[in-house]
Structure 1
Amino acid sequence: MPSYTVTVATGSQWFAGTDDYIYITLVGTERCSEKTLLDKPLYNDFERGAVDSYLVRVDENLGELALVKLEKRKYWVHDDWYCSNISVKTPGGDIVEFPCYRWLVDDTEVVLRDGRARLPQDDKTSLVKQHRKTELEMRQKTYRWREWQPGFPMSIDANGHHDLPRDIQFDSEKGVDFKLNFNKAIQNLLLNHFMNMFQSSWDSIDHFKKIFLKIGNAPSEYVMQHWKEDFVFSYQFLNGCNPVLIKKISKLPAKFPVTNEMVTVSLERQLTLEQEVKAGNIYMVDYEVLDGIKANDSDPKTPQYMAAPICLLYKNTQNEILPIAIQLGQTPGEDNPIFLPTDSQHDWLLAKIWVRSSDFQHHQTVTHLLRTHLISEMFAIATFRQLPTVHPIYKLLIPHVRFTISINTKAREELICERGLFDKANATGGGGHVQLIQKTMKTLTFRSLCFPDMIKARGMDSKQEVPNYFYRDDGHKVWEATKSFVSDVVSIYYSSDEKVQGDDEIQAFVKDVCDNGMKDFHHCGFPRSLESREELIEYLTIIVFTASAQHAAVNFGQYDWYSWIPNTPSTMRQPPPDRKGLANITLIMDSLPDRGRSSWHLGAVWALSQYQDDELYLGTYPDEHFLEKPVNAAMEMFRKSLAEISSAIKTRNQELKIPYDYMSPNRIPNSVAV
């Protein structure tokens, strides 16, 4: 009697094992086996991390093995099981792998396809075609779109983390509980004493050290010591948490009437301001999108304020970019003066503090939340809805959408919801962050998600003209390595542009993103179809890069740059000055966050800057979704390229006062998971 040897691997995460009954049915092109209970008497099967083998006997050969059906049935109480993969040795000695990497919950069954990646047009038999269709129909019922807020990209249809499919939930919900992590941060930073001291101002700048020095690191201590310097102020536009706004300008906007007389003392080349602009030495950061956004009014006892500044910067003869003029509002006038380095020490410092606080609002809501978290979630939902597990692009993307839907759902539960943690200390809390995303979505473009395009559009692409822009330099390297890897994978499965055009599933994926994920935002230019391999490669590179490198660049430096509160206040308690000569140390202290909000802010940026305990970094793919040797070779080449980039960054950083490693691949997680 022929027999098949079935080897079952149970996952190693917490609670992956089960005591429930597990049955298997082998499905071949000729016939099926009988449903067989996988059980070893006197042996505890399916323990966490275990690999168990069983014989499945059949009366006749099944033909080519195509599918495996797993069934889980309750033994005593329902006991979830995480199956990593099934390996089947046929009577002829062949080994057929069936990747699973999913949870079996309650009484359920899962039908697995063998692990060879296949495009839909490559499937020939009705058996595998029907399996493909059934899997997607079930996924589309499970992963549904929902509008969390009007004017937002669409998100997952779930009220909370517990409503999500078990396969995309965090292994341990405690690890991503914002309230729990925030309380942990408060304990670690010894901030309990200050937590409820709202409305209580600090006595002096030095008194911020009472909360800062509990957990210090080299970057944050450097910021504490040098934050008042113009160089450190402007350096953050290049290599801080929000390095995506600075742009070279070809003319001064009418709304920012800076004259040559105002800034001539700052210019070093004996050129006029207009000549410096033409020479490519003038840069600008404009927070126009913040204009009109409602400031946080959740605490009527302490009004909070926002501004929409414009900052002019100059590249001097030492190739340093320095601020030379700041206007705190968008409309010029007597009540909106242009502050200059030649003004009083306190006037200039307060103007810079306002810019930094505005930068914080833009960073948290637009650069971080919208352009990495929400955009990545949209791609993740479409992946689950339109690409079956056998599809090579599903296999490519699945590591880069790991836990993204889950972390965003948690954020909507606890962080950015009404009266959530975001409201505690941020000027855009209380609904301003919602307004800001709605406003930004009116001008968001698909092309701006393409890293080289985004850099070039701001005139920041020349390393010679704009030196020391490490975010750009490292980002380009990671982008090219990622694109090369994606290109290798795409080339393995798509031999021509016609293969892309004829792939109904990849076309449905792109269409789902455009028509549903970006519903009502067709002006953003997301493609509705893909016509070539090159278009597919760029599209996939955008997805992978946004979820990995871009998120890392704008997330993990938050404690470094934001923990010294005066450098980047999360809110301001006095309105921006409407004339010069008002600022003194008293006004600055009254404007900066009080003790309570400072503590909330510090706890939040510490918690958000922590890596997950089980973090998987770029190029690390422990789940073997791909079985093809050419793909594994491409992965190895990708890892080699990333290691070379990490090594080069480490060498360069040894020469820098402020090392930049947020784009170092060994510090870039695969996905948005924190």
Structure 2
Amino acid sequence: MLRTQINQSKNNIFQVSKKPWPCNVHGISAPWALASSRPLIQRKLKVKRGSVGCRNNNIKAVAVTQAEKKSVKVRVTVTVQLAGSGGPDDKTDLNGKSILLELVSSDLDPKTGQEKETIKVHVQKTAQNQEEVKYETEIEVPSRFGEVGAILVENENPKEIYLKDVALHGFITGSLRISCNSWIHSKDDNPSKRVFFTQKSYLPSETPEGLKWLREEELVQLRGNGHGERKSYERIYDYDVYNDLGDPDSSDDLKRPVLGGKENPYPRRCRTGRPRCDTDPASEKRSNSSVYVPRDEAFSDVKDQAFNTKALYSYFRKLLPSLRAYIDGSNEFPVFSRIDDLFNEGVNLPSLKDSSLRTLFPRLIKAISDIKQGLLLLRFETPSPMDRDRFFWLSDEEFGRQTLAGLNPCCLQLVTEWPLKSKLDPKVFGTPESAITTEIVEREIRDFCTIDEAIKQKKLLILDYHDLLLPFVEQIRQLEGTTLYGSRTLFFLTIDGTLRPLAIELTRPPMDGKPQWKQVFTPCSHSTDLWLWRLAKAHVLAHDTGYHQLVSHWLRTHCCTEPYIIAANRHLSAMHPIHRLLHPHFRYTMEINARSREGLINADGTIESSFTPQKYSILLSSVVYDKQWQFDLQALPADLIHRGMAVKDPNAPHGLRLTIEDYPYANDGLLLWDAIKQWVTDYVNRYYTDPNQVESDKELQAWWEEIRTVGHGDKKDEPWWPVLKTKQDLVEIITTIVWVTSGHHAAVNFGQYNYAGYFPNRPTIARTNMPTEDPSDPEWELFMKKPELALLRCFPSQLQAITVMSVLDILSSHSPDEEYLGQTIEPSWEDDPIVKAKFEVFSGRLKEIEGIIDGRNADRKLRNRSGAGVVPYELLKPFSEPGVTGQGVPYSISI
């Protein structure tokens, strides 16, 4: 791990110089470079020949005094998990040199003031089953060695291994178990040893003296030097812009703008160091193999083999090409019954003959050997809402209910100003005043109140995508097979707490020599207006679905979390208590983000090919990041207050009074938020006992500073960034991150198949203009003769629908090794009695929350979560079985 120079002197004494590599500011690239602002550190230890420990179980001890000869016999047990790579090499095991361990003392040598020499030992293979290999040995540990603070591991196999844990039995103080759960590179790939600290957590200022140098240098290694292409076995965490979504070397049409920087602000991703494109030096080449992520961020073998992750990869490589080869990309469904056939009869794909697909997609691929041996059928499971009520998607009441308890329940806003007015430049985009007039609204609510009373009583709410989408309309309308409007949808809060849609406004800016066009559509019983209302709803739902996937889901969770993970690994030591608190919330996120860049959000990927903005999809998320995203507003209470959905009230539950009492996402989310915040508070109080410790914690401060100035560097000068000086500051920041990675992600992810699996309920694209935009267009005549066909032509094509449905089935599924919030305790938490007790309180509270949510769903008075044919709101129930369940809150963004 350290570069070691050994010089033998005349008196047979070795002088071991532990030197950091020269740092890259001097022109030399090396993983052990220290920060350029600090002088190089040198340590010299004097030991006699053979004193570096033992090999093959034979310890060669240094000459010591009689008192120092006291020792304990320690049994070492190492568990290696058999993974996809096949595990350790048998030949290496037979030679007794498969895994080398070094014990590192927490103490300095009292005589020299230097780090004590490590104790080395090779472990021997003793047992193996289908899942694990056990290695054991015994060693003598002198009493003068002190407490073991870390172990160094060298993998002498020719390939990597997955180290599960190391246990040391025989110490007077009891057994010591070090949980590793990490890939260990072969020393043939990298001679540096891996370090694993014990499960005791230390703030930087409290680090045992014997571990300070190791703590610092391990972080230096994780930061890397910013040069070179990363190798799959490496663990380097560094930043880069999103310059790998396009593929300009394959086609000019696949060139995409770089996201990140002044022109297109965006969070940073993990740097891979791949070569630049030949035709566009600003873009990074696409990879034929998996995109690099630091090795510890990769899926576990269980996760990788599970159908919901491996299927995602196989979908891109096998299933999608079969779909494209067989299904016409532009054909709509001719009648609604053909949509139902996707769940009843299925789709017979002659090109789909790979029997492995049936294993990868057990919910989708069915065998039909009675027709032709080996032929496979693509047939979808019926989504829960459709299974309960075939016509659920037509209901205006359900439209309003899903705005509060559906797939995207975090965009509704309170109307506080009237009349509605655009903030865009009228010279470019036309008249700013909304076409939704007082007369239109009062016609709809005249039996209840006036518009002034509705606003005063907080009964008027809006989904507003007008100013966000309008600047994209002209560009998107130049693309084939899609169209766009700016949209506003107005709702009225009824006396029973449900939302009634009042009006939809669609706007097209001046373009192609035509003036601005805008029209308002309202619910109506007359056939023409009724079908126009349904078409207008289809456009709004396409806008809301796109915003959900690109912003509420991808941007706010996956994308914005990656910089937190990178900064944590660069600046928070693995022994830092906050690193250990956040670790489960970062599990697998970088890996799933890398896979998303391969086939979901990339040029011509699933999002671009099937969603309204098409090639402008991710660029649109950059605009939202630039204009709307704020870290402080990612906290659930702050978000609710910002949208006018709540006000502070110390006498109300959670300290908030909700605008809509029956708001399932907010009600259940606040239960989770409070439980998370209490757990984080208890944890922080355990380790930060002095008021000044947060501000003086150099690792913590470096982490937060780098998140703001590098990971989210395009927003570094914003005034809303929280300061990090007190324990309360830390609690708020950590609670926000934990909420985003657990509760918020669960709310917008695991209901995707249930609510969008039947795509008329959540179309991803609107392909045709409203027929009233140009009555001379043949579309008007078609609409008047066959309005149902006009709606089907507006919906996604057969290929788009089946493609998205397949992906949503995968993304909505829980892996068999999913770790749910409060269900699984981290080893370091379990080893601390105080933290363990607080975690048990947290876990117990989450079980209580399950019961509270079940009780709410059984309450018939809560009409936004119960009723005939209504799917109960369970997305924030903490626990779940594997598969597509529509419930369960994992610790992390793991799919």
Q: Contact 2:505–2:520 at 8 Å: present in 1 too? A: yes
- SS at structure 2 position matched to 1:207: helix
How far apart are the structure 2 equivalents of 1:471 and 1:642?
16
- SS at structure 2 position matched to 1:130: helix
What is the aligned counterpart of 2:167 among 87, 95, 120?
87
Residue 444 of structure 1 is matched in structure 2 by 629
* Residues 269-310 of structure 1, C-alpha deviations (whole Å, 9 max, x = no match): 54222221122111111013222236897996x421122210
* Residues 459-480 of structure 1, C-alpha deviations (whole Å, 9 max, x = no match): 2126664132100000000010
How far apart are the structure 2 equivalents of 1:580 and 1:234?
29
Distance 1:23 1:545, change over 3 A: same
What is the aligned counterpart of 2:843 among 633, 636, 639?
639
What is the aligned counterpart of 2:382 among 213, 216, 227?
216
* 1:10 and 2:80 matched: yes
Deviation at 1:662, TM superposition (A): 0.6
How far apart are the structure 2 equivalents of 1:257 and 1:425?
30
What is the aligned counterpart of 1:32 among 117, 120, 128?
117
Distance 1:447 1:38, change over 3 A: same
Residue 348 of structure 1 is matched in structure 2 by 533
Aligned length in residues: 664
* 1:232 and 2:398 matched: yes
How far apart are the structure 1 equivalents of 2:476 and 2:641?
38
How far apart are the structure 2 equivalents of 1:463 and 1:211?
44
Q: Which moved more, 1:142-151 or 1:618-627?
A: 618-627
Q: Contact 1:295–1:428 at 8 Å: present in 2 too? A: no
- SS at structure 1 position matched to 2:575: coil
How far apart are the structure 2 equivalents of 1:298 and 1:27?
65
Where do residues 293-442 of structure 1 align in structure 2 (5 Å cutoff)?
Answer: 293=472, 302-329=480-507, 335-342=517-524, 344-442=529-627
Q: Contact 2:201–2:575 at 8 Å: present in 1 too? A: yes
Kindly provide the amino acid, as one letter, of the partner of residue 154 in structure 1.
R
* Residues 514-544 of structure 1, C-alpha deviations (whole Å, 9 max, x = no match): 0111012125556375111011001001111
What is the aligned counterpart of 1:552 among 741, 746, 753?
746
Distance 1:492 1:424, change over 3 A: same
How far apart are the structure 2 equivalents of 1:179 and 1:488?
38
- SS at structure 1 position matched to 2:124: coil
Residue 170 of structure 1 is matched in structure 2 by 299
* 1:605 and 2:808 matched: yes
Distance 1:444 1:578, change over 3 A: farther
- SS at structure 2 position matched to 1:431: helix
What is the aligned counterpart of 1:614 among 817, 822, 832?
817
Q: Contact 2:701–2:724 at 8 Å: present in 1 too? A: yes
* 1:663 and 2:876 matched: yes
Deviation at 1:51, TM superposition (A): 4.9
Residue 496 of structure 1 is matched in structure 2 by 690
Kindly provide the amino acid, as one letter, of the partner of residue 871 in structure 2.
I
Q: Contact 1:242–1:367 at 8 Å: present in 2 too? A: yes
Deviation at 1:179, TM superposition (A): 4.9
Distance 1:124 1:256, change over 3 A: same
How far apart are the structure 2 equivalents of 1:59 and 1:174?
44
Deviation at 1:500, TM superposition (A): 0.5
How far apart are the structure 2 equivalents of 1:330 and 1:463?
38
Deviation at 1:171, TM superposition (A): 2.3
Distance 1:91 1:258, change over 3 A: closer
- SS at structure 2 position matched to 1:38: strand
Deviation at 1:128, TM superposition (A): 1.2
Kindly provide the amino acid, as one letter, of the partner of residue 244 in structure 1.
C
What is the aligned counterpart of 2:469 among 290, 310, 318?
290
Deviation at 1:579, TM superposition (A): 4.5
How far apart are the structure 1 equivalents of 2:415 and 2:318?
41
* 1:143 and 2:237 matched: yes
Higher Cα radius of gyration: 2
Q: Contact 1:219–1:658 at 8 Å: present in 2 too? A: yes
How far apart are the structure 1 equivalents of 2:746 and 2:204?
34
Q: Contact 2:538–2:766 at 8 Å: present in 1 too? A: no
Q: Contact 1:618–1:670 at 8 Å: present in 2 too? A: yes
What is the aligned counterpart of 2:139 among 42, 46, 56?
56
Residue 507 of structure 1 is matched in structure 2 by 701
* 1:198 and 2:283 matched: no
Q: Contact 2:473–2:509 at 8 Å: present in 1 too? A: no
Deviation at 1:670, TM superposition (A): 1.0
* 1:99 and 2:293 matched: no
Kindly provide the amino acid, as one letter, of the partner of residue 521 in structure 1.
K
Residue 855 of structure 2 is matched in structure 1 by 651
Distance 1:307 1:81, change over 3 A: same
* Residues 217-250 of structure 1, C-alpha deviations (whole Å, 9 max, x = no match): 3224346412111111111111111111111112
Distance 1:295 1:22, change over 3 A: farther
Distance 1:181 1:309, change over 3 A: farther
Q: Contact 1:293–1:436 at 8 Å: present in 2 too? A: no
- SS at structure 2 position matched to 1:121: helix
Q: Contact 1:46–1:52 at 8 Å: present in 2 too? A: no
Distance 1:178 1:296, change over 3 A: farther
* Residues 632-656 of structure 1, C-alpha deviations (whole Å, 9 max, x = no match): 1111111101111012212322342
Deviation at 1:501, TM superposition (A): 0.6
How far apart are the structure 1 equivalents of 2:436 and 2:484?
22
How far apart are the structure 1 equivalents of 2:710 and 2:516?
47
Deviation at 1:168, TM superposition (A): 1.0
Deviation at 1:330, TM superposition (A): 7.3
Q: Which moved more, 1:93-102 or 1:104-113?
A: 93-102
Q: Contact 1:17–1:81 at 8 Å: present in 2 too? A: yes
Residue 588 of structure 1 is matched in structure 2 by 791
How far apart are the structure 1 equivalents of 2:218 and 2:182?
13
> Structure 1 stretches of 5 or more lacking a match?
none
Q: Contact 2:127–2:133 at 8 Å: present in 1 too? A: no
How far apart are the structure 2 equivalents of 1:200 and 1:25?
65
Deviation at 1:346, TM superposition (A): 0.8
Kindly provide the amino acid, as one letter, of the partner of residue 842 in structure 2.
F
Distance 1:429 1:579, change over 3 A: closer
Q: CA RMSD in A?
A: 2.8
Which protein has greater RCO, CA pairs closer than 8 Å, 6+ apart? 1
Distance 1:458 1:185, change over 3 A: farther
Deviation at 1:166, TM superposition (A): 1.9
Distance 1:497 1:289, change over 3 A: farther
Q: Contact 1:309–1:330 at 8 Å: present in 2 too? A: no
- SS at structure 2 position matched to 1:227: helix
Taking structure 2 as the reference length, what is the TM-score of the superposition?
Answer: 0.70
Q: Contact 1:217–1:560 at 8 Å: present in 2 too? A: yes
Aligned-residue identity in percent: 24
Distance 1:46 1:395, change over 3 A: farther
How far apart are the structure 2 equivalents of 1:284 and 1:394?
40
Q: Contact 1:212–1:563 at 8 Å: present in 2 too? A: no
Distance 1:488 1:174, change over 3 A: same
Distance 1:33 1:257, change over 3 A: closer
Distance 1:526 1:4, change over 3 A: farther
Distance 1:157 1:295, change over 3 A: farther
* Residues 587-625 of structure 1, C-alpha deviations (whole Å, 9 max, x = no match): 322212222222112212222211123111111335413
Q: Which moved more, 1:662-671 or 1:107-116?
A: 107-116
Taking structure 1 as the reference length, what is the TM-score of the superposition?
Answer: 0.92
What is the aligned counterpart of 1:152 among 257, 266, 283?
266
